[in-house]
Amino acid sequence: MQKTALKKNKAMDKFLTWLNKNGAVFPDIYFQTYKNGERGVHAKVAIPEHQTVIKIPRSILIYSGMGEKSPWGEKVSQDPTGISGLSLVYICLYIIQDMEYENKFEPYYKILPKKFDNFPIFWSPAEKKYLENSYLLTEIDIRKDILVKDYHKLCQILNDFSSICSLQKFLQIRTLVGSRNFGLWIDGKKQATMVPLGDMLNHSATPDVKWFFEKETNAFVMNSIHSIRSQGEISDSYGTKCNRSYILFYGFVLSDNNKCRNTIFLQLNQSISTPKIQGLRDQLISNEFSRNISSDFSSLNFRQMMTFLRISNANETELAAFIQNRQLSQNPYSKRNEAAALSYLAYKINKLVNTYSISFSQNKTNLKKFTPYSNKSFATILVMGEKKIMKELLAFIKLALGILLLNNRVSTRQLKNNVKGYILTLRTIR
């Protein structure tokens, strides 16, 4: 990514002055802007391991407890039913009130993002089309619906809320808080917290810092995990997530998200059965089962999904065994049962594959045409990741069914560790 020196501007100068006046410590960092307009934090000098990079006193943190004790927060706390992400809403309430009446944190507000077009709930219909039939489209609608309901609930509780804060303003501030807050232990409980300056570090799967709330100094602290070279970017981690979560909550995707596999969403239903078999199944699972799955065959999600499929495709004898010992369904039980489970999984994946109107190769071609870091490019990268997962899953199922049904011999030397264990298990069942 191309870098340039951060242009001097009054807002940033006032912000840095405000930080210094309030006791913040950040002697070894500076800021750079990138070709895509984003900015990052860089090291002025080489920073050794275990050194404090940023220290922000509690007096200029905004945490959920402050919002809860505010005039609006006290009213909401009396009837919070139906409000999602209450701790984040409390921060929003504090910020909106502060902006309107005291503006204590004005220097901080002035340097926060003003545009939110990169977050999918603000995407245009034309941009959403590039998601094709990704489950992200459903998640966008769900998330926006939740936030809109939160807004109307707040309007019911707080008589003056709608006159001070429009729906659009609430959606923006709620998105801002959701994407930039830290979970810190303050006053004996974990609180969502806005940290001026601390929230300016970009994400990396291999972060340079760790952070915490230091009781002794009553401050938020970021310490270096390892040595950081002079002029190098200093990164934080936003957590290990799939690209659907990154784009939905943070407004970006990773082109090579290997740290956490991208996922696809499958709605899995039980196969049609007799009342007796259904009665046995009901002792083990609910009627429907939803899973986000990846091609990491050793992951908990994948194992749980296979357990469901084994039960939902079991015959009467197999179900009786599963009821007697529930752990039996957590691993391949019989050739018949495992083949039925895998065949159903292949059917559902192929059905999902057919919902995409654009081929992977066309996605790849389109991506070269799109502006980097644009919403179209983000959407395309996400969809390509989903298609790659489906291809890997289908190849894996084909391999497994070949062993189960055709007694194919497969060398485990070339298999990845997360596949090898499962394949070796298949050889032992009857």
CATH code, 323: 3.90.1420.10
Query: Has residue 231 been placed in a domain?
Result: no
Mean pLDDT, range 331-360, rounded to an integer: 94
Which pLDDT tens digit goes with each residue over 74-109? Answer: 999 999 998 999 999 999 999 999 999 999 999 999
Which DSSP string corresponds to 356-389?
--S-HHHHHHHHHHSPTTSHHHHHHHHHHHHHHH
Same domain, 382 and 334: yes
Is the model more confident about 298 or about 174? 174
Mean pLDDT, range 171-184, rounded to an integer: 98
Same domain, 47 and 93: no
Same domain, 220 and 303: no
Give percent of the chain with pLDDT exceeding 90. Answer: 73
Same domain, 99 and 45: no
Query: Has residue 245 been placed in a domain?
Result: no
Which pLDDT tens digit goes with each residue over 60-83? Answer: 999 999 999 999 999 999 999 989
Q: What is the pLDDT of residue 144?
A: 97
Same domain, 205 and 276: no
Query: Has residue 256 been placed in a domain?
Result: no
Q: What is the pLDDT of residue 3?
A: 43
Query: Has residue 85 been placed in a domain?
Result: yes
Q: What is each CA distance from 213 to 127, 162, 192, 290, 372, in whole angstroms?
A: 40, 35, 12, 37, 36
Same domain, 299 and 382: yes
**Domains: count for the chain:** 3
C-beta separation of 43 from 139 below 8 A:
no
User: How many angstroms separate the CA atoms of 143 and 120, rounded?
Assistant: 10
Query: Has residue 240 been placed in a domain?
Result: no
Domain range for 167? 63-191
Which pLDDT tens digit goes with each residue over 124-155? Answer: 999 999 999 899 999 999 999 999 999 999 99
C-beta separation of 334 from 318 below 8 A:
yes
Same domain, 11 and 49: yes
Q: What is the pLDDT of residue 295?
A: 65
C-beta separation of 209 from 222 below 8 A:
yes
**Sheet with 3-5, side-by-side order of all strands:** 3-5, 29-34, 39-43
Same domain, 278 and 418: yes
- Split at pLDDT 50, 70, 90, the class of 4 is very low
Same domain, 28 and 67: no
